[in-house]
Structure 1
Amino acid sequence: MNFVSPANIPLHIATSDFGEKAASDGQGTTALQARIVAATHVARYHGVDPDPSGIRPNAGGAAPTSPALVEWLRQYGLWARAVRLSFGQLMKLDNPAPVLLLLSDGGAAVVVGRNHEHGVLLVRDPLAPSSKPPTPIDELRLKQVWDGTALLVRASRGESEDEKPFDLGLLTRMVWGEKSILRDVAIGSITITILSVLPVLMIMTTLNTVVTYHSMNTLTLIVVVLLIALGFEMLIAWSRRMLLITLATRLDTRLHLAIFNRLMTLPIDFFERNQAGELSYKVSQLYRVREFLTGRMITTFIDVAMVLLLLPVLFYMEPTLAWTVLAAAACITLIIWAFLRPLADLTGKVIQAESDKGSTLVESIYGIRTVKSLCLESTRAAEWDQRIATVGDLNMRMGKLSNWPMVLVMPFEKYTQAGVLALGAYLAMTSNNPLSLGGLIGFMMLGGRVAGPLVNLARLLQDVQEARQALFQVGWVLNRPTEKRALTHGLRPKLEGAISFDEVTFKYEGSKSPALDNISFAIEPGMMLGVVGRSGSGKSTVTRLLMGINPEYSGAIKIDGIELREINLRHLRQSFGAVLQDNFLFRGSVKDNILAGRPGLSFEDAVRAARLAGAEEFIERLPQGYETWVQEGSTNLSGGQRQRLAIARALIADPKLLILDEATSALDPESEALINANLQRMARGRTMVIISHRLSSLVECDKTLVLDRGKVIDIGPHRELVERCAVYRHLWLQQNRHSDYQGKVHAAPAPSFIQAS
């Protein structure tokens, strides 16, 4: 390319709006869009096409910060890090990958090349046309708009940290990642060990010199030195303790983030097969492992380092006594080792019993309305009593078993503390080179400091077994196959809404017969498909497969001709709006619940979605309107109100495909009529799949799919199905005894639906 002098070119940073909109929303919106577009360009260089709607919005719609961009890119399997670079460092980078610069005014620019001959960077405006060449920028002009913040991005190499098995190795790597803290703790421990030897030497000197020669000056000097050493030891011990607290806090933060992220990538059917209380308790066992890593393990290894420093001194003072101390520690190790296996087995049973107990408690609280309405208090209390009795029995057995090694090691512990004094006195009286009184007492003091860590090291084996059992429980939950790859990889096409099933068969785990048996059908974009059938015919399974909840099917499911499993799972689910029979509302305001799927949208968007769902009229009658707080379990809202809020939440993202799975079955006639009247507006411009037991609400669907025992019985418009499909006709006549054979209802006419033009 031809080089143009940077002095003659203004540094142009993105000032146009994102997409096809004009730049009329202000500088904040421009900066927001510039950074998202720039980050998207960098990600696409590495073969990833992230969804801009997935980035966490900043307060007031301001440009996203570097941590938000890093988090967003990491969601798609990229390695990303925010760094501070100088112009010279940018010039020295030999990697051809683009570098994202975050400008001081909230904008962005992308470094795409370097011209070393002229000492300039080739910078591209992320919102400029792709045909426009990059702009050469020198250091002086770049510093006017850039403070050094940059994002380095590359494709992940191998298995990412959040995809590795949750085991002791992963946690150990997390601890080892805090090398600076561990180094400072080690330095402090060595210093404390040295300071702990000093008083012993002083006592030996006191007994051997001060007492013998009545030297008050020496005694005074020794006391002063001991006080100074004590002060230093207290200061270093306090600092070491604070470092360990900092280490534990950092690990807790990283572990909780990793656990939650791993849980959110587990498939839905895993949570459906397991009780919430059991999962919660097993995951909470991670605190035992963390306490082991940052508590007993670190302190034991610190003490072992102290032993390595003190053992040579002990062997120098009296080899025979030193060997007896080591022999006592070895006996303690053998005793504890003998009890490890039965203690580990019993620990696993205790954890499982505690898990069952927690599951009963959570289930009783979660279903308290059912418990109260059916007077099940006594039944649940009996089950709780049984769980408590089981836990109590196992804890008693655990206490008895663990009590034996504690008692059996006591003689050896007492020997290391006081027995060496008797043996040392015996050696002093019988050997040719007797120990002095000061040397004997000094050995006893140092021997206690050596024996304690050796005993702790032996007991560490028992703690390791308990930590392994706790980690096994955590791994049982977190080491399941996740949807991580499906959520971060795959195609992100612009979906129009054509759906086709081609010989699809699916069987739930543990089921003998398939839920769907070789079914095939197809609908065009913008059509309304009704799905009917008896209970257990596979209606809801169709929607589960469409949303990628159960990908283990045979055959082909295609949306706009693209196999479902090839589409990015997050993009797929964001393209769907789903309303179920029983929808969960989060604690928060009504507005927050409507905007839950798109937190970056405005209040006006929430009002528009509520109006479309027929929820506006009751929201305005609430005490605080859209700011009314939704209580836990949505107890301050009726069933119809909850359902209309769920529909508004599904419509807020303007999905191209909308699924209504028995969405009106729990509504009163007035609420159902209101939603049915709004269906014609909901259907405009999108494909709809409506599952309903009430066939009257599906009369105007373009096609209705009739299922029975997992097979397709027929598909077609209502009038044709009444004529030719015996199953559909039977269901219709059951619900509409007053209708004639042609399906002409003499009651209130069904609402008409306006199709997208």
Structure 2
Amino acid sequence: MAQLAKIARANGFRAAPARMQWDQLAGLGKALPAIVRLRSGGYMVIAEVRTSPQGDLVILRDPLAAPDAVLVLDEARLRAVWDGAVLLVKRQHKVSDAGQPFGMRWVVGQILRDSHLIRDILLGSLFISAFAVAPIIYWSLLFRIVLPRNSLDTLNLLVAGFVFVVVFDTILGAMRRHIILHIVSKADIRMGHHVFDRMLRLPIGFFETTSTGQVTSKLGEIGRIRGFLLNSVFGTLLDGVCLIVFIPVLFFVSTPLSLLVLAGCAAILLANLAFMPELNRRHERLVRAERDQYSHLVETVHGMRTVKTLALDARQRTLWDLLVARTARERIAFGRVQNSMKTVMAPLESLLPITVLTVAAYMILGGDSPFDMSSLIAFALLTGRTMGPLLGIAKLVERYHEARGSIATIASVVDHPAEEGLSGTGVLTPLKGTIELMDVGFRYPGTVVPAIDGLDLLIPSGSTIGIVGRSGSGKTTVTRLLQGLHADYGGLIKFDGIDIRQFDLTHLRSSIGVVLQDSFLFRGTIRENIGIAKPSCTLEDVAAAARLAGAEEFIERLPRGFDTMIEEGAANLSGGQRQRIAIARALLTNPRILILDEATSALDPESEAILSANLKRIAFGRTVIIISHRLASLVSSDAILVLERGRPAALGRHQELLADCRLYRDLWTQQNGHLGQQNGHPGQETSRGTGYVSISPPAA
């Protein structure tokens, strides 16, 4: 273990070998992952410890096994193979390392990028601290020289000097506040950019399992960090620079009294720290309650149409009242702890200067001190100026714990593993449109039944394929895999013979046009929404895409045409109009692959007829994948894939499937039994089961 630790440290890690019992190992928590040594002499990595009804279980990874292979052991089985040796390993980051996890070190690193400005602030603070002694000198000279000697000239000189100091101090203070605001604003910009960029890199599964309100409320904690930096860190620490001037002066005047001042401030700091554990616990509960309340608010606003149509006002109001009451309880509990802390600290803060003056008075009365009245007043003023920064540091500790909680909240989002393939180093080869799936299998996290199981499919470039099946059969899952939205699948997915994992995801997705059943339109004009994926497009390009999608007809009837503003949620458009705009948006970039996932479900018969008439032009030169419950819209496809419970049931043209696939025939009969069987087109291979299936290239 010592040799492993040495190697780890040489490669930029913090490493600490140790010997542990099972209870210690199970309680490592955030210290994981860790390396354990086996009795056989080998090593394995403990990825995490999970709690189950049967007890704690350790999740092990073997470096010699497959990357996705894990071993789950309970206490008895681990003890049988583990010799008790553990190596705790953590990556060691420099403060300036931009790639480190989001935390206080990262925030400090962003601030230190403006170190030259911080240097200027420190120099200004030293001058301000020196000027802060001026009032003390003024009072001392006033009582020691001016008043006893009736020296008017000296008084005028003191006043002139004091006015000069005040003016210069005001100018320096204004400059310091301006620079602080500039530094914090730059750090805020970098932090906001970093957080938003990391959010965009998160996999789609994160957003599907985390509510919008939870995500927005967590990322909203940036405001707390900004306030901590602006109102607490710079103000307190820069005011603390004056201690470099004040404390030596205090000791020069009186060492015993200076020690009393420092001891009193230390006692106040310890009293503050004693309340920190309970204060932090209450603060975390308060933040959690506020987050749940905000999440409910966002969810209600987002689903207001459903709330109105289902008359859910009372239900949402009741839930809101419960959440408000919970937040109020937590805020009161948090306030009680704060009140208790202030109740203890307030008398200490008040008694400290009185105690110092009382001790000084006793020293003067006893004749044991060189103090006179002017020196006592000067020392009292100096004590007050010294106590302010020292007590500010004590209060900074409280705000630091709150800010650290906010940082941890944001980190729970931005430090989530990002999507693979966004590094910018992937393949950027233009797609031709050939798609190949080889023994593809996939199951959603938390489920046992696979959504896709053993799918083999070859789609030549330029083909049009329909995918049908009952609800939940895996149709949409296939298209999600083709977009690279899920990386934890089995088998191979290839585009033009290249594994999808080798592509740059941004390039891949920009080469695939996708129209969903519930396509989202952004707030803005129709022109902006259609051309959103191609900022350089002209109005003619937008109009051509709208014409191809059958949207130009209704857009021209609008008073402002393509400049019509789309409200939030596209509430001022019908479902069919929204869908046609989404289709036009997908067509504008001229993608080599087009996926229509129930894209015509919201269209009226006339709009669907227009789109169907244009489908041949739309499909020309590109691979088209159409998912539709309306089987009649797939009759002219080069092939139709039938899925049943995630497995391919059959592949062929419409006529062949009617003859050979019972599931397809049943679905067709349910929808179009009154029409009878439609004439198909021979020459297409049909396959059942899970064997490899392919589509013949379309006729020229």
- TM-score (normalizing by structure 2): 0.82
Q: How much does 1:741 deviate? A: 5.0
Gap change, CA 1:212 and 1:484, over 3 Å in 2: farther
SS of the equivalent of 1:250 reads helix
The Cα of 1:416 is off from its aligned counterpart by: 3.4
Residue 588 (structure 2) pairs with residue 659 (structure 1): no
Please give the alpha-carbon distance, in whole angstroms, between the structure 1 residues aligned to 2:94 and 2:562.
47
1:418 matched to 2:354? The reply is yes
The CA distance in 2 between the partners of 1:333 and 1:545, in whole Å, is: 57
Paired residue for 1:637? 573
Q: Deviations over 1:590-641 (max 9, x none)?
A: 1111111101111111111111111111111111111111111112211111
- CA drift of 1:440 comes to 0.8
Separation of aligned partners in 2, 1:185 and 1:728: 75
SS at match of 1:555: strand
The answer (yes or no) to whether the contact 1:247–1:294 under 8 Å persists in 2 is no
Q: Does 1:732 align with 2:653?
A: no
* Displacement after TM superposition at 1:342 (Å): 1.2
1:227-242 equivalences in 2 (<5 Å): 227-242=163-178
Question: 1:410: how far off?
Answer: 1.7
Asked if structure 2 preserves the Cα contact closer than 8 Å seen for 1:266 and 1:480, the reply is yes
Q: Is the 8 A contact 2:464 2:624 kept in 1?
A: yes
Residue 162 to residue 512, structure 1, CA distance change in 2 (3 Å):
farther
Supply the distance in 1 between the matched residues of 2:95 and 2:486 (Cα, whole angstroms).
24
1:755 deviation in Å? 5.8
- What whole-Å deviation, never above 9, does each CA across 1:274-322 have from its counterpart, x for those lacking one? 1111111110111211222233112222122211221111111111111
The range that moved more, 398-407 or 251-260, is 251-260
Q: Distance in 2 between matches of 1:485 and 1:438?
A: 73
The correspondence for 2:302, drawn from 356, 366, 375, is: 366
Match of 2:527 in 1: 591
DSSP 3-state at the match of 1:620: helix
Per-residue deviation, 1:180:
2.3
Q: Is the 8 A contact 1:349 1:394 kept in 2?
A: yes
Query: Does the aligned pair in 1 maintain the 2:541–2:588 contact within 8 Å?
Result: yes
1:194-228 Cα deviation digits (max 9, x unpaired)? 01112212211221122222222222221221111
CA offset digits 1:329-375 (Å, max 9, x no partner): 11111111111111111111111111111111111111111111111
- The question of whether the paired residues in 2 share the 8 Å contact of 1:685 and 1:756 is answered with no
Match of 1:688 among 624, 639, 660: 624
Question: Residue 378 of structure 2 corresponds to which residue in structure 1?
Answer: 442
Deviation by residue 1:383-441 (Cα, 9 ceiling, x = unmatched): 11111111100000000001111111122211333332222111111143341111111
**Deviation of residue 729 (structure 1)?**
1.2
Decide which of 550, 553, 574 is 2:486's aligned counterpart.
Answer: 550
Give the aligned length: 593
Question: In the TM superposition, what is the alpha-carbon distance from 1:739 to its structure 2 partner?
Answer: 3.5
| Partner residue of 1:720 out of 653, 656, 660 | 656
Alignment-mate amino acid for residue 153 of structure 2: N
Which residue number in structure 1 is paired with residue 325 of structure 2? 389
Distance 1:612 1:378, change over 3 A: same
Deviates further, 437-446 or 230-239: 230-239
Correspondence 1:612 to 2:544: no
Residue correspondence of structure 1 range 666-685 to structure 2 within 5 A: 666-685=602-621
Deviations 1:234-276 (A, max 9, x none): 1111111111122222222222222222222112221111111
Q: Which residue of 1 aligns with 2:459?
A: 523
Distance 1:455 1:159, change over 3 A: closer
Distance 1:163 1:603 in 2: 41
CA distance in 2, matches of 1:719, 1:591: 41
Matches within 5 A, 1:249-268: 249-268=185-204
Q: Distance in 1 between matches of 2:100 and 2:637?
A: 47
Equivalent residue letter for 1:183: R
Identity over aligned pairs, percent: 40
Shift of residue 484, structure 1, vs aligned partner:
6.8
Deviations 1:545-602 (A, max 9, x none): 0001111101001111111111110111011000000111111111111111101111
Find the aligned partners of 1:717 and 1:345 in 2 and give their Cα distance.
64
Q: Which amino acid aligns with 1:738?
A: H
> Structure 2 stretches of 5 or more lacking a match?
1-92, 682-696
The answer as to 2:413 corresponding to 1:477 is yes
Q: 1:539 Cα shift?
A: 0.3
Work out which of the residue numbers 230, 246, 262 in structure 2 matches 1:326: 262
CA distance in 2, matches of 1:741, 1:205: 111
Contact persistence 1:595–1:652 (CA under 8 A): yes
In 2, Cα distance between the equivalents of 1:621 and 1:328? 79
CA distance in 2 between counterparts of 1:160 and 1:505 reads 42
Are residue 576 (structure 1) and residue 576 (structure 2) matched? Answer: no
Supply the distance in 2 between the matched residues of 1:452 and 1:234 (Cα, whole angstroms): 19
Separation in 2, partners of 1:631, 1:169: 41
Q: Does 1:213 align with 2:149?
A: yes
Report what 2:345 is aligned to.
Answer: 409
Which residue among 360, 366, 369 is the counterpart of 1:430? 366
SS at match of 1:440: helix
Aligned to 1:357: 293
Relative distance call for 1:640 and 1:158 in structure 2 (3 A) is farther
Residues 680 and 755 of structure 1 are in contact (CA less than 8 Å); yes or no, is this contact kept in structure 2?
Answer: no
CA contact (8 A) 1:640 1:668 kept: yes
Residue of structure 2 in register with 1:144 after alignment: none
Equivalent residue letter for 1:576 = I
CA distance in 1, matches of 2:471, 2:580: 24
Distance 2:377 2:96 in 1: 56
Which residue of structure 2 aligns with residue 508 of structure 1?
A: 444
Give the SS at the match of 1:486: coil
User: SS in structure 1 opposite 2:133?
Assistant: helix
For the residue of structure 1 that corresponds to 2:397, the secondary structure is: helix
Q: Distance in 2 between matches of 1:498 and 1:472?
A: 45
The answer for the alignment partner of 1:70 in structure 2 is none
Distance 1:602 1:670, change over 3 A: same
Higher deviation after alignment, 664-673 or 170-179: 664-673
Asked if structure 2 preserves the Cα contact closer than 8 Å seen for 1:506 and 1:514, the reply is: yes
What is the aligned partner in structure 1 of residue 82 from structure 2? Answer: none
Structure 1 residues not aligned, in runs of 5+: 1-156, 746-753
* Amino acid of the structure 1 residue aligned with 2:281: D
Deviations 1:102-148 (A, max 9, x none): xxxxxxxxxxxxxxxxxxxxxxxxxxxxxxxxxxxxxxxxxxxxxxx
**3-state SS of paired residue (2:422):** helix
User: Residue 159 of structure 1: CA displacement?
Assistant: 13
| Whole-Å separation in 2 of the counterparts to 1:314 and 1:218 | 26
Match of 1:85 in 2: none
Q: Write the deviation string for residues 702-726 of structure 1: whole angstroms up to 9, x where unpaired.
A: 1111111111111111111111111
CA distance in structure 1 between the aligned counterparts of 2:699 and 2:407, rounded to whole angstroms: 55
Rounded to whole Å, the distance in 1 between the matches of 2:97 and 2:476 is 36
Q: Pairwise CA RMSD of aligned residues? A: 2.0
One-letter identity of the residue aligned with 2:621: G
Are the aligned partners of 2:192 and 2:222 in contact in 1 as well (CA < 8 Å)?
A: no
Q: Which moved more, 1:239-248 or 1:410-419?
A: 410-419
Secondary structure in 2 aligned to 1:409?
helix
SS in 2 for 1:557: strand
Instruction: For residue 689 of structure 1, report the CA deviation from its aligned partner.
Output: 0.4
TM-score scaled by structure 1? 0.76
Q: Which has the larger displacement, 509-518 or 529-538?
A: 509-518
Q: Return the letter of the residue paired with 1:401.
A: V
Counterparts of 1:612 and 1:348, CA distance in 2: 54
Q: CA deviation at 1:742?
A: 6.2
